[in-house]
Structure 1
């Protein structure tokens, strides 16, 4: 019998549904932080040294932290790191196109999606519109709007022997009949957002699967949902931070949630993990509490980061693709990711720290390494460790169908991860 009643997992499903883009994910996090008494601070304002919860928003990234009443200028941080973006199809600057009586939307491939998973799905559009005065408006069409239609088997009899998709020619979704007219899509989205189309001068828009998350299996022991990579970790980290803030002033360090954008394409942006955002926030927090350059170095030297991103459960149909002695199972708890070439930042000390957090939380954990013949991916973990000199450990939840439009995990594992991260932030 599962130790969880799946309240956390059901809330994760609601969080994912409310967050079809990184900008929506950040807005959802901000809404929940505000409800818990955190206050937003602007990067362009002077910061005060008052205790309590604070957060900064930048595009699709959010950094939130809680300063206990007894925090010293050199008090170290405990950071949970994650990312808000997911692989998908994103709208080009000139989106209106079509041919042969079909109206289409011009899209570009973002990150490394399983492209075939986006075929013949009901897709919505979400993101942000940027107005002439520089302000932004979130927009989400969370109903069937687009479809990337496959070619019928009658016109490609060999398709089941191997599907090859041209990213330029084969992925442009349909959204109506007739001739394409320049400006149609943005006019439509401006109406959806309730703003004049003439005021929209920029946009960041992307497709999303509109099918809601669902529990699967005989006993509902599985969760299928879009964007588990990596909103699952953002949601767990937020739960852990709010739990840490609820403990009040007893913590000997400052707990932090750092959720970045653009991890799926290398993190090289002003809102990505390679950018200055996290370092700036940590440094300014030290100085706001009266700290010096020396205090900042002392604080960072004692800081630990848990980089949380989903990982691979053993696929029963492709078990040979996994390391033969490391078989993470869905429902077996979070995984500790290791790679001696520093694709993951985990080393022995970090492994011991997270294992202790899992023990305190009463949750199981597992180990993950890649098959030596199949190079693994990477995370924000090594970036955070190298850029800020912060001891970092890489963890996550094992899933199937990673980078699909719809991914799969055990319903217990999100709760296991949240409990472990809570123990990490509240010890």
Structure 2
């Protein structure tokens, strides 16, 4: 069973189906894309009693948790207490994502490079600190905010407005009861993911994603409008530096705190002039990074996950194809603000064989047609011998798919070295 209903989960299901060990897959709740290759269950990712009942009644052998909310709420802990094999970090480990204050404290204690900053639970104290700083600044809601709780502010006035929006207006609810105010790091941003069983790290091909809604990195932050992998600027020396200064130290730091981290660990990095620094940690596969990383995976994903659960990742040789992948997000008109749902999607069967369309915000309508059901609707993914080739495949096909108000960026992976 795969828990979740986005593009990440569709990509996980798609990869699991390639394993000879897999007989059947259930997805809770899934989407219009997973419905074609697995059995969707009408259960929300945070409905623990119904998820547990489904796992037990259907004889599920392996559970994979995709999104952050059930991890932060302790779903893995619940499964483990019932001896159900489940892939993902326990609640204490998932704090690395669910609390930016926890992550910051850990990085400061164990000298893991990150932006200078401070956490506040009092609005007046946060505002007073903010007014003493120099712009640009980054204001972050401490908790989970679906990738939208971070404001990069070019002026103090913008930072004040972001702070008030989070702490006074409660734009992100309880997730904004504490905020983190940080210096704004400058450089190339990159996503660096790895499989780990708390001892061994198996690094994935790094990726670069695009958070802003519009071309030229303009507009509001989104959950991600596209991505490419691997970045052309990543040298073996830089990769080794990231592993030795960020990835290995954070696993050791968690272990020193009595936390055994098992699952996927994701570091959002800024490559500054003084070296790589952590912007954030996530406790699961990225979205849309998964849609370009898993197509590169050669090793059986089931083998990797079962060995991580058993604490024996060192027994698996994790191998990757020498290919490049680009994904472009087709979003609903108006995203990330208000947008329509239930719009019929046409042309899904008109794309080339080299393209994989991962569904995110879709569902099957009563007439069997696929309709929109979210802000980020589809991920059009192309793979090729180079970033340029993969990009050409994705964009050559994206125009063949249509729905009312569809929007997408035209510059994903256009300058992969910048």
Q: What range is the shorter-chain TM-score in? A: under 0.3
TM-score (norm 2): 0.24
TM-score (normalizing by structure 1): 0.23
Q: Whose Rg is larger?
A: 1
